[in-house]
Amino acid sequence: MARKPDPEVDLRIKQAAATLIFTKGLDFTMDEVAQVASVGRASVFRRYAGKRDLLLDALGSAMDAQVTMPDTGSFAGDLRVVVSETLDAWQASAPVVRQIYGEAGRDPAVAEIMRSAMRSRMERSWGIYERALARGEVRADADLWLLSDMLVGLVVYRGLLEKPPPSADEVVEALLHGFAPR
């Protein structure tokens, strides 16, 4: 009778792969995953037929990280926190994130993980928009998906092209007030 897979080992393997992705990029080996997870090579291959399967699973989990749901009392304050954390996250792992975006351009499964993770993160942080609407800080007909896309798009664009990021205050000012004269 076959032994039932150990969920603790599953988690250690997935966490090891995620750690390697964010420290080494996509150029890790299954043997390195086994070593970081402190399991045998066979344990990794029993769960994943190949590196791509493990990469997709680990990337999906890593991209599902929780987003802070700030409540500073104002939409501008909440956005400033989200923008700061987004800029900081990019800066902390820029080379790896560039590599992942490159892979997303080649592999539709990676692209789908990226798309799903970004939408999921935006949906989880939707409370800041609901509070802003309730306080009258945002027009009722505002396209809040567009606002979210503009924030993420700016960070990704600047990050991929290795352009210096703007400050969180500059981003919030542009998102909330555009570029019209005051």
Note the pTM of the prediction, 2 decimals: 0.79
Give the pLDDT confidence of 8-41 residue by residue, as tens digits.
Answer: 999 999 999 999 998 888 999 999 999 999 999 9
When comparing pLDDT for 85 and 32, which is higher?
Answer: 32
> DSSP secondary-structure letter at 172?
H
Q: Can you read off the two tokens belonging to residue 61?
A: 């989990």
> DSSP secondary-structure letter at 74?
S
Give the pLDDT confidence of 112-136 residue by residue, as tens digits.
Answer: 998 888 888 788 788 899 999 999 9
Give the pLDDT confidence of 90-117 residue by residue, as tens digits.
Answer: 888 888 889 999 999 999 999 999 888 8
pLDDT for the residue numbered 54: 93
The upper half-sphere exposure of residue 37, i.e. CA atoms within 13 Å in the direction of its Cβ, equals 27
First-to-last C-alpha distance (Å) of the chain: 74
Q: Can you read off the two tokens belonging to residue 151?
A: 């924030």
Query: Considering only CA atoms, which of 172, 179, 176, 7 is closest in space to residue 82?
Result: 172
Q: Can you read off the two tokens belonging to residue 169?
A: 């205050």
pLDDT for the residue numbered 107: 95
Domain annotation for the chain: domains and CATH numbers: 7-62 (1.10.10.60), 67-177 (1.10.357.10)
